[in-house]
Structure 1
């Protein structure tokens, strides 16, 4: 009889747990809710259970479906720095405290988005400055770093928690996201929420749902490479790789040693549950965020597709369209052009992957409400993860402040190639966003020409207003023109806002 009573009690507890209202990780203490738009709130409960959600002046109710899922749409609310309480009532009551209403942005991509304010190669004084800045920020900036890993199927939730930017927490925040959020807050004077979901060394296909990836013209080739890569996999080989990786890390405990001995590091091992498997990062790190109300996306990714740059245009456009469809909004999408890295250019005809990656990244700009900022002048030769991220965050923020929030920010775009004309043995290059065009250091450098014999040669140049005239005695009949066309190119030109001329190439055509 006693055993039966215990069984009934346990059964009762199990039913109670299943009936409890539950919220996704995003709906937790210190969260930031997007202002001036409808706000989806969702979760799980017992099938048919009546759920009432209250935040500030908004109250909405819904019934959990047969699958236990429910969702309400709260009306648009004004930004406020006064902490609010989110209350969700059903069979039980869930209370989320210290909720702010402000501006929320999603940061995604590779390792330079994941790169933290307190990364090992960040100067101590830079970290100290960021810690001090957190004490002056008002209203608050909060951030949510997605901690969950990839998954085979789309997940309904993600791992992570909201953190208030403070001297104790700021070191773990994405540096690009932090400086972006800080610049927004300093101009808009409202709370800012930053959601960061990024993984180093990943291609765009890892961040796409399977259905949409399979519908692309490049999906079949991507899955074929996946199957080929798995042929080298075994549990024994994986175990050996982990041992070798652990030994390498132990022998190289600092960032400096890791960079110095990078060539000795075990080759990355492809596993069926790894981060480089197509769609897994979307499943584990993006699907569970949808459709949390965000204003837009900042994106730092591209070189993860360096082996097959021809696939990138369709992939990045599909990613933007898909995320917008899943969020039911035409989210502004601002990306960072891949930064300079590796040894400085020494030859006019350097032909390596990164320049081509930068070019195909332009495909994103064919879609509405997209933009690009350059990082071609910020990188360092010895490490792809350059430590000074503030200019990147500022450039992204200036773009958003001008185009999304309508502030007068002056020139927020880097100079770009617009057109060209042949004038005898010279090429005149017309640029846009080039007001105040000037040469850093005084000399026009970084241009190369291909002559009639097919040889690339360095070119001279002269600034004339917002244009550049380029020529070379070795190319009296130039066939092609390039600027900053290298992994770590020689640069010279910038506009009056100090933004660098973006790399470009063009076949020279005579009218």
Structure 2
């Protein structure tokens, strides 16, 4: 009997030691990228009251933290400057060490939003991404790009962990990376020589309200926050508020990142007034507060042309207008245009194939605004002012970088008179780098629009080849 007690005691000690060993969230693991040259947050769980010691391969400095009554601990370590070295970190609470390896110091960016951000290099069914074979065959050269996909999960309460795994880009893995995120990372790495880590926390079909916290939803919206009410109001789970913030985004909020890439909006088409832009601003403020890293960059992708039930309608155009407004009212923000990222036959394709342009334009924004490469031209031309002389409207633009891509043959312009009926217009580059717009059917024009339809493709760009952002000079409710 005594021997049996001793044996059981020994087994309990071994089992207890195994249970007590430091446990890390899945986001902290092999192949991860840590934000370079800063204080990086690390966290996990251990035996309550235990002292967790952390050792890093790039420094002799030691770090430690005490686990609280629930076994939770958190600390920060000073990360090195990115140089391509493979790093490691070990964690020890006295009951056994846990290590992570193949770690890189670099730049960490969050890929947030809905399905066009989620869309992987391998595409969705019947929705290909241009250049798949080119990317896969060249992926061995992209070993400095790592990514982690946070599972799309709903939760009524905020989750601290998610079943995920960092991957290093290779021909075998790159197909799973966000296409927009990958092309962004490839350009940033090419320009800087620095590794890039992508944290892909997104959900197809999600609304901006899907990512707002309970506090913000209660204070600024009338969204249902009871699960039964959510189901009654929203047939599709991806439209429901709060749940994706709790289940998909909350697990990453302690990770140290550089900035956020935000590609979302299709599911908010039809929102009234300035509601969408104000809620995107609220979301940017929420995420910045939760990350605790200050006003980190928040770069927005304009939703692409899509018929949205009626190609000639304007409800999608109004959402794009709201996205531009959001980029104006959110500090340290910017927007990339996508009007030329659509093939004419993609009228009903909600997932257009040209993701390389989108990702690279985001990269140019970041390289110019975040990394100081001011010689890069990163802004799309946008409406500045309009004057009318007789039957001709003259439109002035910002962000031309010295001119436009064409003198004449411009398409996408419409004009209207007091009757508010728009007609296709002729447009050309006039003296003073103004665009002259006229139409025989409109003798006394009062308003001009450019590509202000659900699906309308223009051909005007600036000297950088970046497309003119859709606009209107009126404020009419069509």
TM-score (norm 1): 0.85
Q: How many residues align?
A: 464
* Change in 2 beyond 3 A, CA 1:49/1:148: farther
Question: The residue matched to 1:275 in structure 2 has which SS?
Answer: helix
> 1:182 is matched with which residue?
186
Residues 142 and 170 of structure 2 are in contact (CA less than 8 Å); yes or no, is this contact kept in structure 1? no
Residue 287 of structure 2 is aligned with which of 300, 323, 327?
Answer: 323
State the Cα deviation string for residues 50-86 of structure 1 (Å, max 9, x = none). Answer: 0111222143111111221111111242112111111
Alpha-carbon offset, residue 10 of structure 1: 6.8
Matched, 1:371 2:374: no
For 1:363 and 1:434, how far apart are their aligned partners in 2?
19
1:336 aligns with 2:301: yes
Instruction: Tell me, yes or no, if structure 1 residue 286 matches structure 2 residue 253.
Output: no
- Relative distance call for 1:7 and 1:466 in structure 2 (3 A) is farther
Aligned Cα root-mean-square deviation (Å):
2.6
Residues in 2 aligned to 1:59 and 1:331: alpha-carbon distance in whole angstroms: 28
Q: Please list every run of 5 or more consecutive structure 2 residues that lacks an aligned counterpart in the other structure.
A: none
Contact 1:345–1:490 under 8 Å retained in 2: no
Question: Is contact 2:413-2:450 (8 Å) kept?
Answer: yes
How far is the alpha carbon of 1:15 from its aligned partner? 4.1
Instruction: Tell me the secondary structure at the aligned position of residue 224 of structure 2.
Output: helix
- Give 1:192 deviation, angstroms: 1.2
- The SS at the match of 2:393 is strand
Deviations 1:130-187, CA, capped at 9 Å, x for gaps: 012212236x211101125121110011221011100011111110011000001111
Deviation at 1:482, TM superposition (A): 1.1
Residues 78, 101 of structure 1: 8 Å contact kept:
yes
Q: Which moved more, 1:350-359 or 1:322-331?
A: 350-359
Q: CA deviation at 1:297?
A: 0.7
CA distances 1:108-130 after superposition (whole Å, capped 9, x unpaired): 11111111101145669822210
Alpha-carbon distance in 1 for matches of 2:16, 2:213: 34
Picking from 453, 464, 473, the partner of 1:486 is 453
CA gap 1:424/1:6 in 2 versus in 1, 3 angstroms = farther
Instruction: Provide the C-alpha distance between the structure 2 equivalents of 1:95 and 1:484, rounded to a whole number of angstroms.
Output: 54
- Which residue matches 2:174? 170
In structure 2, the residue matched to 1:359 is 321
Matched residue SS, 1:376: coil
Q: Which SS does the other structure have where 1:152 is aligned?
A: coil
Instruction: Name the residue aligned to 1:475.
Output: 442
State the shift of 1:368 in Å. Answer: 1.1
SS at match of 1:215: helix
1:303-359 Cα deviation digits (max 9, x unpaired): 11114254212210111001000111211011100011239998xxx3342101101
Which of 212, 215, 218 is the aligned partner of 2:219? 215
Task: Tell me, in whole angstroms, the C-alpha distance in 1 between the residues paired with 2:200 and 2:436.
Answer: 43
Matches within 5 A, 1:26-175: 26-55=27-56, 56-57=58-59, 58-90=61-93, 91-119=95-123, 120-121=125-126, 126-137=131-142, 140-175=144-179
CA distance, structure 1, for counterparts of residue 23 and residue 232 of structure 2: 41
Deviation at 1:461, TM superposition (A): 1.6
Task: Tell me the SS of whatever aligns to 1:60.
Answer: strand
Q: In structure 1, the residue corresponding to 2:138 is in which secondary structure?
A: helix
**Residue aligned with 2:322, SS:** helix
- Preserved CA contact (<8 Å) 2:225 2:241: no
Q: Deviations over 1:357-407 (max 9, x none)?
A: 101112322121100001111122231111121111110001101111111
| Pairwise CA distance, 1:5 | 7.0
Question: 1:418-449: per-residue Cα shift (whole Å, max 9, x none)?
Answer: 11222233221110111354356941221112
CA contact (8 A) 1:333 1:370 kept: yes
Are the counterparts in 1 of residues 388 and 446 from structure 2 also a CA contact under 8 Å?
no
Change (3 A) 1:122 1:59: farther
In structure 1, list runs of 5 or more residues that go unmatched: 233-267
